[in-house]
Amino acid sequence: MASQGDPRVLFVMNLVLSTLFAAGVVWGLSFIGLLGLTVWNVTALALLLMALTYVVTMR
């Protein structure tokens, strides 16, 4: 029987990894001129990624 882990740790890991990935994607889009590198853009993408990750993993 596998352990599910502590939900708080999973939430923080999701938050950190989604934010880092979102910052990289927004930086890349900013580098090619498609999107500005702002805190709001990184936050919005990180929240979208967190929600998507939650939906995919909770199936």
* pLDDT above 80 (res 59): no
Q: Give pTM, 2 decimals.
A: 0.85
Provide the pLDDT for residue 7: 86
Mean pLDDT of 38-57: 96
| Secondary element (H or E) of residue 10 | helix 7-31
**How far apart are alpha carbons 28 and 12 in whole angstroms?**
24
Structure token digits, residue 21:
């990935």
Provide the pLDDT for residue 2: 64
pLDDT digits (tens, 9 = 90+) for 10-34: 899 999 999 999 999 999 999 999 9
